[in-house]
């Protein structure tokens, strides 16, 4: 650029001194050649920089490929079958324990089918998925979710039990402060609430709440096994379907031989409760009069 400025000043001086047009053209031609030479130098420098960058990137890519190839060729011993496998043919956990693809799949399927699933993997699920079949991975996920659900259910039950115990303690404290007459009244109220209003299995007296449409109910107590009618609460042995078919068929609200609407279930239980409470109160009234 200094050369260009120098030439421009020279042209200005020569022009002001009255040089000819030919002289000016000659000077301009010289300047143009200088500019072109400088442009070629800049272009060459840019090309050299681009070439160096390309060489650097190519070298980095070759190093990555070499490292990947090295890992593929690196062998591991499976901790289950003790066979030697390439590192890409299995799963390596965070503790550096390696299990081949075949053993991992069989392990997942076997553990997932156990009644008490206790499989704990020291690897991320995303790392395991590419090394096993969709069926094995699906079984693993289902079993794991079942364990979580069971743990949550256990927690809820324990919390409910704890709350029930606290409630019982509070009620006992309240009962201690009641008089004899008040205790009798509380006893009568409990009898109405627990015996009359709560539905019980006719065999083992375990309370039940669930009704899903079938009037042949099964006691949830595993040691009981009683099957009873949801309308008459009759113990029918091990299967109440025959009883329901014979005695509940004509009831309004039945939608099939064994199934009916929830409104029917509510209606018959409301009637049963009303009769039971009325009978209990009449008997209680007779006892009170007899005591007087």
The tokens for 9 are 């000043």
User: CA-to-CA distance for 258 and 240, rounded, in angstroms?
Assistant: 9
In a domain, residue 187? The reply is no
In a domain, residue 192? The reply is no
In a domain, residue 81? The reply is yes
- List, in order, residues 6 or more apart from 11 with CB less than 8 Å away: 24, 27, 28
End position of a domain, from candidates 32, 48, 73? 73
The per-residue pLDDT for 177 is: 65
64 & 107 share domain = no
| CATH code at position 107 | 3.30.40
Burial of 162 (0-12, 13-18, 19+ CB in 10 A): exposed
pLDDT tens by residue, the chain, 292 residues: 566 666 666 655 655 554 455 666 676 777 777 777 777 887 888 888 888 888 888 888 888 877 766 665 577 888 889 888 887 888 887 777 888 988 888 888 887 777 555 555 556 777 788 888 888 888 888 877 777 777 777 788 788 788 877 887 787 777 666 666 666 666 777 766 666 667 888 898 888 766 677 889 988 888 888 999 988 888 998 899 999 989 888 888 888 888 888 888 888 888 888 888 788 778 777 776 665 5
Q: Taking Cα atoms as reference points, which of 117, 91, 122 lies closest to residue 104? A: 91
33 & 69 share domain = yes
Q: Is the pTM of this model over 0.85?
A: no
| Count of structural domains, the chain | 3
User: CA-to-CA distance for 132 and 128, rounded, in angstroms?
Assistant: 7
DSSP 192: I
User: CA-to-CA distance for 143 and 136, rounded, in angstroms?
Assistant: 11
The per-residue pLDDT for 16 is: 52
In a domain, residue 41? The reply is yes
Burial of 240 (0-12, 13-18, 19+ CB in 10 A): buried
In a domain, residue 114? The reply is yes
The per-residue pLDDT for 122 is: 55
The per-residue pLDDT for 236 is: 92
Domain extent at residue 66: 2-73
The per-residue pLDDT for 121 is: 58
């Amino acid at each position: 650029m200094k050369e260009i400025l120098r030439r421009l000043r020279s042209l200005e001086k020569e022009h002001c001194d009255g040089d000819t047009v030919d002289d000016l053209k000659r000077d301009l031609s010289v300047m143009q050649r200088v500019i072109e030479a400088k442009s070629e130098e800049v272009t060459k420098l840019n090309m050299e920089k681009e070439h160096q960058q390309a060489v650097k990137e190519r070298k980095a890519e070759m190093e990555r490929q070499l490292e990947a190839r090295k890992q593929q060729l690196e062998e591991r011993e499976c901790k289950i079958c003790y066979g030697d496998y390439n590192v890409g043919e299995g799963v390596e956990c965070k503790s550096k324990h390696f299990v081949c693809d075949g053993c991992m799949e069989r392990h997942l399927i076997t553990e997932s089918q156990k009644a008490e699933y206790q499989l704990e993997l020291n690897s991320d699920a995303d790392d395991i998925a590419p090394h096993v079949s969709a069926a094995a991975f699906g079984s693993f996920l289902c079993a794991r979710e079942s364990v979580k659900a069971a743990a949550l259910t256990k927690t809820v039950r324990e919390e409910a039990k704890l709350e029930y115990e606290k409630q019982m303690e509070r009620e006992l404290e309240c009962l201690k402060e009641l008089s004899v007459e008040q205790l009798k009244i509380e006893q009568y109220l409990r009898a109405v609430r627990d015996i009359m209003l709560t539905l019980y299995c006719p065999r083992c007296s375990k309370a039940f709440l669930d009704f899903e449409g079938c009037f042949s109910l099964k006691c949830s107590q595993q040691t009981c096994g009683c099957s009873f009618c949801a309308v008459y609460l009759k113990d029918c042995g091990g299967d109440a379907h025959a009883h329901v078919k014979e005695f509940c068929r004509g009831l309004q609200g039945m939608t099939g031989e064994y199934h009916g609407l929830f409104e029917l279930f509510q209606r018959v239980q409301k009637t049963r409760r009303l009769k039971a409470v009325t009978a209990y109160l009449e008997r209680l009234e007779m006892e009170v009069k007899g005591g007087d």
